Amino acid sequence: MFDDETTAFLMSGCALIIGTVRADGEPHAGRGWGLDVVVDAGDRAEVRLLLDADDLTTIELAAADGAMAITAANVRTLRSVQMKGRSLGLAAPAAGDDERARRYVDQFFTDIEDTDGTSPELLAAFEPSGFVACNVEIVERYDQTPGPGAGAPIPAEP
């Protein structure tokens, strides 16, 4: 489903916006703090996503195996991909989660500082105090890069 370039992009420090929805249709937006592609076989993909431990609504909806949309955007280039699927539930902590989150935060904050001039002290206040992992099965992908192709489906890689 993902070529090597897209996998590298998704696992970089790109901005990760998470959309979830309650059973009654009420939407909720949160932020991801690291993503790893863990299964990529034909038209099936699964990612491990690190959520803000203080975002109780996103965690609640992820634990309930709810629908989830993940938008990944490169801060420097605005290249964006949206993935839609379903949470497979919360995942047990893994040995590399803290290191993964640290690499993500460092790259994401460096990109913001370099492009927007935001001070490291201001960005540090934005960093979560902890992370919760969930796995998400990806079933749809869309190009969300600004321009005439925005919103176009991305076919699965052969």
Kindly report the average pLDDT of the chain as a whole number. 92
Q: For position 3, what pLDDT does the model report?
A: 85
b/e map of 48-77 (b: 16 or more CB within 10 Å)?
A: bbbbbeebeebbebbeeebebbbbbbbbee
pLDDT band at 44 (very low <50, low <70, confident <90, very high): confident
Q: Which residue has the higher pLDDT, 158 or 101?
A: 101
pLDDT tops 80 at residue 154: yes
CA separation, residue 95 to residues 30, 98, 132 (Å)? 24, 7, 13
Is the Cβ–Cβ distance between 52 and 33 less than 8 Å? yes
pLDDT tops 80 at residue 157: no
Q: For position 132, what pLDDT does the model report?
A: 95
Per DSSP, the three-state class of 13 is coil
Q: Which residue has the higher pLDDT, 87 or 65?
A: 87
Average pLDDT estimate for 110-136: 94
Average pLDDT estimate for 91-98: 88
pLDDT band at 155 (very low <50, low <70, confident <90, very high): confident
pLDDT band at 40 (very low <50, low <70, confident <90, very high): confident
Taken in order of first residue, the domains within the chain and their CATH numbers are: 4-144 (2.30.110.10)
Q: For position 114, what pLDDT does the model report?
A: 96
What count of Cα atoms within 13 Å lies in the side-chain half-sphere of residue 109?
17
Average pLDDT estimate for 47-70: 95
Helices (H), ranges, 71-142: 97-116, 120-124
Average pLDDT estimate for 60-67: 92
Per DSSP, the three-state class of 51 is strand
pLDDT band at 65 (very low <50, low <70, confident <90, very high): confident
pLDDT tops 60 at residue 158: no
